[in-house]
Amino acid sequence: MPGVTRETLADAHRVVVKVGSSSLTGDDGRLDVDALRALSDVLAARRAAGRQVVLVSSGAIAAGLGPLGMTGRPRDLATAQAAASVGQGLLMARYTEAFARRGQRVGQVLLTVEDVMRRAQYRNALRTLDRLLDLDIMPIVNENDTTATHEIRFGDNDRLAAIVSHLTRADALVLLSDVDALYTAPPGVAGARRIDRVTGPQDLAEVRIGGAGSRVGTGGMATKLDAAAIATGSGIPVMLTSAANVAEALDGAPVGTWFAATGSRKNARRLWLAHAARPNGRVVLDDGAVRAITVGKKSLLAAGITGVEGEFDVGDVVELVSTDGLVVARGLVAYSSAELPPLLGKSSAALRDEIGHDREVVHRDHLAVVRHRR
C-alpha cells in the first residue's frame, strides 16, 4: 500500500508489530498474561478485518525468570539462554491460547543473524513467512536467544523487527513499548515534550535519550530510533507508541510518534548488506571514492582506495570507510585482503597493463550505502 500515513494506517494491508519485554511482564518480572491477551485481542481483531499482521515479540527470557526463581535479567549469556529456553515455550503457549480464543492460528519463527546474513537462509526465511501468511497463520517472530552468541545477535528485537518489516514487504512497522511516544527527554524530566511526527533528522535535534531498557529487556529509546531509521530509510513508515495504545495507533488515531518514510524500498541484497551482514574487514577510501559510491552511485575502483584493514577473502562482506573512520557503505569485495594492497591507488589503465584486467573492487550491484555524505 503506497503512501501509508498515520491516518491511513488502519487500511494498511500488512503491518509488523513489535512488542517489548517490559510490555509483557509485571513488576515481579513474570509474564503478564492479561497484557499478552489484551495485545492478542487487538491483533486478532485486525486480522479478522482482513489485514495481515506479523508479530515480533520479546519476552522469552523474561517469561523464564519466574519459573527459574530469578528476579532480573541474567548478566551472563549461558544463564540468559537457559532462561530463554524455559520461557520461549511458555510464551508461545500463552500466545497460542490467547489467539485461539479469537479463532486465530499462530506459528513460531525463531531467527538469528545467520538467518538473514546468508542469502540462502534469508530467502528461506522470506518464503516461510510468506507461506504462513498465505495460510492465514500469524507469524510470531523472536530472536533465537537459546543458540545466538554475542557475535551473531541482532542485539535487540527492535532491529530485528525493522529487518522483518523489510523482509515481509510490510506497509508499516509499529514499535510498542512502555513509553507512549518519543519525547525530547525522558518523560519524567521537567519540560519533556512529546514529538508527534518525525520527517527527518531535523525533528530529532532536541531529543536527549535516557538510559537503556527495562530490567527485563535489552532495548530502550536508542534502539527504537535505530530501528526506525532502518525501516524509514527502506521506505517503511513507523509508529512508536505504548502497548496500551496499540488499538488506537492501528486505527490511525493521533497517538504516539509517527516516523515518515524517508527512503525507497531496497532490494533484499542491499538490505542484507546494510543491516544484517557481518563484515570481515575494512577498505579505506579517499574523499573522491566516498563521493563516487554514495552520491554518484558508482562502483568502487582500486584508484580510490588508500588502505586495507583486517583479513577477508573474495566474496566476503567488507566495510567501506572514509579516511576519518566513518562507515559509508558495505559491499561484497572482488579481491582478497592479500591481493588488494599492491593495487591501491592505481588507475584502471595501469591495472590493465599490470595484471591484465581492471575489475571493480566492489561492484555497485553488490554495494549498500550506509550513510550518504556530500
Annotated binding site for substrate: 58, 145, 157
Grid cell 534502539 is found at 223
Residue 245 φ then ψ, to 5°? -100, 10
CB atoms within 10 A of CB 211: 9
Distance CA 58, CA 74 (A): 15
Residue 13 host element (H or E): none
Q: What does DSSP assign to residue 273?
A: I
CA distances from 97 to 60, 61, 93, 210 (A): 16, 19, 6, 36
367, β-bridge pairs: 331
Mark the binding-site residues, compressed into ranges.
18, 58, 145, 157, 177-178, 218-224
Distance CA 101, CA 96 (A): 9
Mark the binding-site residues for ATP, compressed into ranges.
18, 177-178, 218-224
Distance CA 258, CA 239 (A): 5
Q: Single out the residue of 219, 256, 260 nearest to residue 241, CA to CA.
A: 256
